Amino acid sequence: MHPSGMTAHEHEVISGEAAWDERYRSRAGGIWSGQPNAVLVAEAADLEPGRALDVGCGEGADALWLAGRGWQVTGVDIATVALDRAAAAARGQGLTVNWVRADLLADPPAPAGFELVTAHFMHLPTAEREQLVAALADAVVPGGTLLFVGHDPSDRHTTMGRPRVAAMFVTADEVAAGLDRDAWEVQVAEARPRSATDPEGRPVTIRDAVLRARKRG
């Protein structure tokens, strides 16, 4: 049994490389919108470009938005199919991104390597998420920014399709609690509402758990 309460098989079906590759293959035209996440646009637009790490980059929309604004971007994902699509999109837009296939739980990024580390909607059980956030925080240089966005637990009570495992939802305050307040200034920690459409086509308000923090120094 996995620590989240899932069986090992259930965990692999949700989080494993093969499962994600199959999910991407199932939609030849792409499974995401091709547009950058709204929270990234809102929270990173005022940052001075430097080196950025986009964690769980998928088909590359966030990484390409950052690259288009002058960032030196590394996009990391576990799914080869997604990275191939991201690389093709980068070529089509004339942008350069360093695409890396990696499991950051097993192979975390080097410490103090990035002015911005951003992770959107990493569906991980609590222990693994805490491990990942700690590694991502270590990867931020002094003066740099950590941006973490997840599904707020309130989404479980909407009609939106969401993972059934409660441990995969997180509040911004829970993520912030994992940061050393002597080393970090938490600038934003909130459940930010946005409009969406559920699987039946009905309008619904959902909330993103948004954490933006600056490493002191």
**Nearest residue to 148 (alpha-carbon basis) of 110, 194, 205, 189:** 189
Contact 158, 151 (CB under 8 A): no
The string of pLDDT tens digits covering residues 107-139 is: 999 999 999 999 999 888 899 999 999 999 999
Q: Which CATH number fits domain 37-215: 3.40.50.620, 1.10.3210.10, 3.40.50.150, 3.30.43.10?
A: 3.40.50.150
Which positions ≥6 away from 106 have C-beta within 8 Å? none
| Whole-structure pTM value | 0.88
Distance between CA atoms of 135 and 115, rounded to whole angstroms?
14
In this predicted structure, what is the pLDDT of residue 5?
Answer: 47
Strand partners, 82: none
Domain-wise residue ranges, the chain: 37-215
Q: Which pLDDT belongs to residue 4?
A: 42
pLDDT in tens, 195-207: 999 999 999 999 9
- Which of 176, 129, 154, 108 is CA-nearest to residue 4? 129
| pLDDT surpassing 80 at residue 14 | no
| Mean pLDDT of the residues in the chain | 89
**What is the average per-residue pLDDT within 178-188?**
97
pLDDT in tens, 61-112: 999 999 999 999 999 999 999 999 999 999 999 999 999 999 999 999 999 9
